[in-house]
Amino acid sequence: MSETDIFGGMKGRMPAMSQTRQIGSEPVTSDGFLDSEDISEAFDSLSPENRLKLYEIERIALRGTDLSPGDLLHEALSAAIMGDRNCPRDVPFMAFIVQTMRSIASHHREKRRREPTDGGAAPEARPVFSAAASDPEQTLIERESADTVGAIHDCFEGDEQAQMVVLGWSDGYRGKDLRDFVGVDQTALDYIIKRIRRTMAKRYPNGWKKQ
Amino acid sequence: MTASRKNPAREQLDRIEDALIESILGASEAELREEMVERGEDPDKCLLRMEQIVAGAKVASGKRRMERAKSELQEWRTGQAKTLKFDREAVRARFEKMRSRDPELASKMLLAARKGEGLSESDVEGLIEDLAKLERLDDKPGSE
């Protein structure tokens, strides 16, 4: 199974917030990290193409949070400028900001899951997967994730190729493995993926929140 | 169609998200613009909105940094005042105790002072500050 590292090696390298070092009010950046001015400059120098990409990626990363479009980017950029999140100099800025947005979204999802429901009690979980049954929170996460995965598949009812691609993605297939799994060449795969992206954008215009 | 049970659903969702993001990163500007227009969004307005978000983030960060700096300065001042006040009173008492209990030390201080005329008030203040510094060093973890 081949998997391209689209995140510039960021996965597993994102410094935790607690690792941030500070002196006074300024983020301390050893030579290995961008400082706050570098962050501002890095963003200012992003091309319109990359900005549109961030705009689109944010919509996807918002899933399951209570945030609105724009909030994630605002938080990610603020965290980077404040030094709460550090961007290694050898990592592409786009990869850093994308992973920071995703990480922040993940924190929001976790926080939301821990909040009591309207009735004041913690959300009751019904067991779906036996492996997670002993941990109600994990069970809830699994249930919500399963619901979303199911809803994504439902978006492509009647489009078997798109369903195959989504299924392949969910099993981690990329490149040749994905082409073989779906049984199409790269041009056809690109076309199917574009179709998936468009359908998803229409189905979830404000991120993958529960509709 | 149901989701595969091979991997936990959360992992599947993360992988789908990875793949979608990968496809966006690989798309051209023209493709993205086309897709936005198709769903009724104006890409140029989106870019303008991005500018506003970034400007907002910069302003908010600037304010937070200023607040953080003020708060840290205030903490430092408060801590500094407390330390000095405490050190000066307590350390002076300890210094006087040491001097009165150790005639040899008192004699050496006299000899070390200017022309054998004894310690001036500023000499004593200086010694108290030195003693306070030594005590702080002793209190630091790892010091012997």
Residue A37, token pair as written in the block: 């001015």
CB contact under 8 A, B39 and A171: no
Task: ipTM value, please give it.
Answer: 0.78
Contact A196, A209 (CB under 8 A): no
How far B96 CA lies from chain A's nearest CA (Å)? Answer: 37
A84 CB neighbours in chain B (<8 A) are none
What is the mean predicted confidence (pLDDT) over B29-39? 93
Q: Which of A24, A149, A167 sits opposite B13 (nearest CB)?
A: A149
Q: Answer whether residue A5 shows pLDDT above 60.
A: no
Q: Answer whether residue A96 shows pLDDT above 90.
A: yes
A78 CB neighbours in chain B (<8 A) are 57, 60-61, 64
Q: Provide the pLDDT for residue B141.
A: 56
Model confidence pLDDT, tens digit, residues A124-170: 443 344 444 567 777 877 888 888 889 999 999 999 999 999 999 99
The CA distance from A81 to A27, in Å, is 8
Residue A167 gets the label, from left (phi > 0), alpha (psi -120 to 50) or beta, of alpha
Contact A164, A193 (CB under 8 A): no
The CA distance from B103 to B6, in Å, is 84
The CA distance from B16 to A200, in Å, is 11
Q: What are phi and psi of B15, to 5 degrees?
A: -70, -35
The CA distance from A153 to A151, in Å, is 5
The beta strands (E) that lie in B1-144 are given as none
Model confidence pLDDT, tens digit, residues B43-82: 999 999 999 999 999 999 989 888 888 888 888 887 766 6
Average pLDDT of chain B is 80
0.90 exceeded by pTM: no
What is the mean predicted confidence (pLDDT) over A60-79? 91
CA angle centred on B133, ends B113 and B122, rounded to 5°: 35
Q: What are phi and psi of A69, to 5 degrees?
A: -55, 135
Q: Which of B11, B31, B33, B53 to mutate to test the interface with A (most CBs of A within 10 A)?
A: B53
Q: Answer whether residue A18 shows pLDDT above 90.
A: no
Q: Answer whether residue A171 shows pLDDT above 70.
A: yes
